[in-house]
Amino acid sequence: MDLKRYRVNNIQEALQLIKKDLGPEAVIVSTRQVKEGKGTFGLFGKTVLEVTAALDQEQKSAPAKTPPPTQAAAAVAYGIKDQETQPSSNVVPFRSTSTKDSQSLILPIQKDVQELKESIDEIKIKTATYGDHVINQLKHELGEMRHMLHMIVSQSVHHDDLHLPENLMILFQQMKFGGLEEKFARRVVLEAQKNISEEDLQNFSYVKIFLARMLMKIIKTTNGIENIEQSQKIVSLIGPTGVGKTTTAAKICSEQILQYKRKVALITVDTMRIAAVEQLRAYAKVINVPLSIVSDKVELDRAISSYADYDVIVIDTGGCSQRDETQMFELRDIFDERGRLHNILVLSATTKDSDTNEITRKFGSMPLDSIVFTKLDESSSYGSIFNHAIRFKKPVSYLTTGQNVPEDIELATKERLVDLLLHISGS
Q: What Å distances lie between residue 346 and 337, 343, 417, CA to CA? A: 18, 10, 16
Interhelix angle 182-195/166-177, rounded to 10 degrees, is 150
**Domains within the chain, CATH numbers bracketed:** 2-214 (no CATH), 233-422 (3.40.50.300)
The pLDDT, as a whole number, for residue 105 is 59
Burial of 315 (0-12, 13-18, 19+ CB in 10 A): buried
The pLDDT, as a whole number, for residue 134 is 57
Q: Can you tell me the distance from the alpha carbon of 321 to that of 23, in angstroms, rounded to the nearest whole number?
A: 52
Identify the CA nearest to 86 among candidates 225, 245, 198, 4: 198
Q: Which amino acid, one-letter code, is at 96?
A: S
The pLDDT, as a whole number, for residue 77 is 38
- Is residue 421 within 8 A of residue 178, CB to CB? The reply is yes
pLDDT digits (tens, 9 = 90+) for 161-175: 678 888 899 999 899
Per-residue pLDDT of the chain (427 residues; tens, 9 = 90+): 667 888 888 777 888 888 888 887 777 777 777 766 554 444 456 777 788 888 765 555 555 444 444 444 434 433 334 444 444 444 444 444 455 555 565 666 666 666 676 666 666 665 554 455 556 666 666 666 655 555 554 444 344 567 888 889 999 989 998 899 999 999 999 999 999 999 999 999 999 999 999 999 999 999 999 999 899 999 999 999 889 898 999 999 999 999 999 999 999 987 566 556 788 888 889 889 999 999 889 999 999 999 999 999 999 987 777 666 777 888 888 888 888 899 999 999 999 898 999 999 988 888 999 999 999 999 888 999 999 999 999 999 999 998 888 889 999 999 999 999 998 876 4
The pLDDT, as a whole number, for residue 89 is 43
The pLDDT, as a whole number, for residue 132 is 57
Identify the CA nearest to 351 among candidates 240, 217, 221, 190: 240
